Amino acid sequence: MGIPTNIFGRTGLTVTKLGYGAMEVRGTRIWGGRAVTELEADTILNAVLDSGITFIDTSNDYGRSEEFIGKYLANRRSEYVLATKCGCTVVHKDEHTDETPHIWTKENLFRGLHESLERMKTDYVDVMQLHNPSVEQTEAGELVAALQEMKAQGKVRWIGISSTHPHIESYIASGVFDVFQIPYSALERVHEDAIQAAADSGAGVIIRGGVARGEPGAGLGNTDRWTSWEKANLDELLDEGESRTQWLLRFTNTHPGMHTNIVGTKNPAHLADNVLAASRGPLSPEVYAEAKKRLTAAAE
């Protein structure tokens, strides 16, 4: 029983419905994250590929994430689809945290591209994404043209954007992006329709936040967000022995418009739990419909 796969929209690439979000191996400075040792990075990144996952998402401003991917996975480059992001910069704030402002110019996009390629020890990235600019910033910086130039140079195979309301609808309508990255989970359903619209346009769809960052106390989940779980009595819908996080992952993977759901962790045991949940497949149509009915009622 392996992880189910999808065709990644018009890219034609085959990706596992469970992907890996590599922000978790960013290191100590970015947003105060805990230090990641060389051994931890090596262990989790190779465990990701050993588990059968074929999609990895990172960013130019995720600390040491790209560096670790290059150091520990460059020799396995043919085994995974690699997505990163550009437009970002890193400004050292103090010894523990950094700020990550974005500069929306062609020059900064190409700086990020070349730095990312060098760090990850690869000649190309499969998907280069703009890191959540507004429509106005995208137009003013002529950012799409810059991405298309990267593609023409053979350094990028497909162009994408990580985006949210109120901009994502315009980006979908433009038809220029091959891939969209969109936040979504049972506890954050605001983009539910946008996901389907992106898929219907022929684009590949990456979901982030698909397990609501885990339960409060065990993960980084927001307690307020989890109140909707309690109000909807979703514990009643869990299979025997199934954790809330595993159920959330399966809920996200049941959305007909999603292609891959990037979930990050440094913990091999958590990775194994995620792989198990994804391998069990989507929720049944009856449970999925009942969950959405309860969540909608809880939000009223």
| CA angle in degrees (0–180, nearest 5) for 131-132-135 | 125
* Confidence label for 186 from pLDDT (cuts 50, 70 and 90): very high
224: pLDDT strictly greater than 90? no
Q: Note the pLDDT tens digit of each residue in 35-71.
A: 899 999 999 999 999 999 999 999 999 999 999 999 9
Range with the poorest average pLDDT among 87-91, 112-116, 260-264: 87-91
Q: Is the dihedral of CA 282, 285, 291, 296 positive or negative?
A: positive
Give the whole-angstrom CA distance, residue 36 versus residue 131.
24
Where is pLDDT greater, at 214 or 194?
194
Q: Do 9 and 205 touch, CB atoms closer than 8 A?
A: yes
Distance of CA 293 to the CA centre of its chain: 26
Model pLDDT, residue 213: 60
Distances (CA, A) of 116 to 86, 128, 218, 275: 9, 10, 32, 28
Give the whole-angstrom CA distance, residue 248 versus residue 28.
28
22: pLDDT strictly greater than 80? yes
Model pLDDT, residue 31: 74
Cis amide linkage into residue 166, ω under 30° from 0: yes
Q: What are the structure tokens assigned to 41, written together? A: 């990075």
β-pair type (98-99, 91-92): antiparallel
299 three-class SS: helix
Smallest Cα–Cα separation from 201: which of 170, 239, 222?
170
Q: Do 138 and 106 touch, CB atoms closer than 8 A?
A: no
* Confidence label for 218 from pLDDT (cuts 50, 70 and 90): very low
139: pLDDT strictly greater than 90? yes
* Confidence label for 222 from pLDDT (cuts 50, 70 and 90): low
Mean confidence (pLDDT) of the chain: 94
Model pLDDT, residue 104: 97
Q: What are the structure tokens assigned to 43, written together? A: 């262990």
Residue with tokens 């499969």: 126
Give the whole-angstrom CA distance, residue 171 versus residue 289.
29
- Which residues have CB under 8 Å from 191's CB, separation 6+? 164, 165, 168, 182, 183, 184
Distances (CA, A) of 16 to 49, 92, 175, 278: 11, 35, 24, 9
Q: Residue range 10-38: average pLDDT?
A: 91
According to DSSP, residue 88 is labeled B
Distances (CA, A) of 88 to 54, 70, 187, 216, 230: 25, 19, 28, 29, 37
Distances (CA, A) of 236 to 123, 151, 186, 246, 290: 49, 48, 15, 14, 11
Q: Note the pLDDT tens digit of each residue in 115-137.
A: 999 999 999 999 999 999 999 99
Model pLDDT, residue 173: 98
pTM (two decimals): 0.95
Q: What are the structure tokens assigned to 9, written together? A: 């929209």
Model pLDDT, residue 220: 47
Q: Residue range 280-291: average pLDDT?
A: 98
215: pLDDT strictly greater than 70? no
